[in-house]
Amino acid sequence: MKNQSSVTEFILVGLSSLPEHQMFLFVVFTFIYMAALAGNILLVLTIVTSCSLHTPMYFLLISLSLINILSITVSVPKMLHNLLEHRKTIGLLGCFAQIYLFTWTLASEVLVLAAMAFDRYIAICHPLHYTIIMTKEVCFGLIAGIWLVGVVNSAVHTGLVLQLSFCCSNVINHFYCELPPVLKLSCSDIRLNETLAFLADAVFGMGSCTITLMSYFFILRTILMLHSTESKKKAFSTCSSHLVVVSLYYSTVIYTYINPSSLPNTGALRAPNKMFSFFYTVLTPLINPLIYSLRNKDVKEALWRALRKSKVFP
């Protein structure tokens, strides 16, 4: 670590600096965090314990839930600690750890969403070839590749951040350490960081978004060709809800990471809008189990079977 920084800790401004808002934020984010953990863990346990759900689509859902758990755990517990202790600081290494873990989950999540969309495209548009293309071996290899790509991408960006010096301001206008606002505070040359960050965001963000939207385009086209009105309504309801969440997720991520001021050689990256970050960092892990799984008839039936077996409900 060549960092010659005189800064030993950062100050996180948070979502609000008003003292009267701190306890309210603590209660709200505690509820959101516990609900997100419960929803994603329950989803994973339901899929693992139900043999009928051991298919590629649900294995991808397990991967998405694990990513969501890690994503929200990276930022929220530290924020809750700061709210409770009335201190808004984070150590230098703790900040870099947040950057590494969150960058990992961000790249992995967009890739998993693209893989899920492709899986649904094969299942709906080419049902006769689904079992040949999406075998369990292909699915596990795809998941392993996604996590590996996320690890390598995150290691590159975090390694470059470790080479920077921070000797001026240490105030981060955010509720956790994210790459763009941290780069803004560096007094080193960050052009290489900016260039690689922009290229990675363009490849992962725009590439995954294109695959996802194209998959849903062909899915919707196939749905419209169905003769049964009831089948159209059922399929369209599921795909439209998925598409809305995916679109909102990608739009907030792309707005944060890919914008004119973040282009290489145009100055420091723009500080991300905290409310947009709140959506893909905190809100998405909360609503993903509801949108992607708990609305699914097979998952609900497996969940009720598991609850009856565990005697939670008579």
pLDDT tens-digit map of 164-175: 888 777 888 888
Domain 9-309, what fold?
Rhopdopsin 7-helix transmembrane proteins (1.20.1070)
pLDDT, greater one: 253 or 220 = 220
Confidence band (pLDDT; 50, 70, 90) for 234? low
Q: Which two tokens stand for residue 159?
A: 């390694």
Amino acid present at 67: I
Q: What six digits make up the tokens of 140?
A: 């596990």
Model confidence at 207, in pLDDT bands (50, 70, 90)?
Answer: confident
DSSP 3-state of 174: coil
Tell me what the mean pLDDT of segment 96-120 comes to.
91
More confident: 208 or 308: 208
- Computed over its alpha carbons, how large is the radius of gyration of the chain? 21
pLDDT (tens digit per residue) in 114-167: 998 898 889 888 888 888 888 888 999 999 999 999 999 999 999 999 988 887
Distances (CA, A) of 197 to 26, 126, 180: 32, 36, 9
The predicted structure's pLDDT at residue 1:
45
283: left (phi over 0), alpha (psi -120 to 50) or beta: alpha
From CA 15, how far away is CA 68, in angstroms rounded?
A: 21
pLDDT in tens, 240-290: 666 777 777 777 776 666 654 444 444 444 445 677 788 888 888 888 888
Cα–Cα distance for residue pair 78/64, rounded to 1 Å? 22
List the structure tokens of 144. 């392993």
Average pLDDT for the chain: 82
Q: What is the DSSP letter of 6?
A: S
d(CA 39, CA 285): 9
Pair 143, 60: CB distance under 8 Å: yes
DSSP letter (8 states) at residue 177: -
pLDDT at 179: 86
Residue 168 near residue 190, CB atoms below 8 Å: no
31 — pLDDT class (breaks 50, 70, 90): very high
Q: What pTM did the predictor assign?
A: 0.86
- Residues 226, 288: Cα–Cα separation, whole Å: 28
What are the residues facing 91 on neighbouring strands? 9
Query: Which residues are registered as beta bridge partners of 171?
Result: 11
**Is residue 97 over pLDDT 90?**
yes
Number of neighbouring beta carbons within 10 Å of residue 115: 25
Q: Which residue has the higher pLDDT, 257 or 30?
A: 30
pLDDT of residue 295: 66
**Closest by Cα among 68, 191, 60, 192 to 136:** 60
Q: Which two tokens stand for residue 216?
A: 């849903």
Share of the chain above pLDDT 90, in %: 21
Q: What is the pLDDT of residue 108?
A: 92
Tokens read off for 21: 């808002």
Specify the pLDDT at position 314: 54
Give the pLDDT of residue 180: 84
Q: Look at residue 265 in the predicted model and tell me its pLDDT.
A: 43
Kindly report the backbone phi and psi dihedral angles of residue 89, in degrees, each rounded to the nearest multiple of 5, phi listed first. Answer: -110, 155
The first and second tokens of residue 304, run together, are: 């009720």
Tell me the C-alpha distance between 90 and 128, whole Å. 53
Average pLDDT over every residue of 1-29 = 76
The whole-number pLDDT of residue 270 equals 46
pLDDT of 2: 47
pLDDT in tens, 185-196: 888 888 898 888
Kind and range of the H or E run holding 171: strand 171-172
Highest mean pLDDT of the ranges 5-9, 212-216, 269-273, 290-294: 212-216
Q: What pLDDT does 273 receive?
A: 65
Cβ(117)–Cβ(60) below 8 Å: no
Instruction: Give the containing element (helix H, strand E) for 12.
Output: strand 9-12
- At 16, the amino acid letter reads S
Whether 104 shows a pLDDT value over 90: the answer reads yes
So where are the chain's domains?
9-309
Q: Is the pLDDT of residue 103 over 70?
A: yes
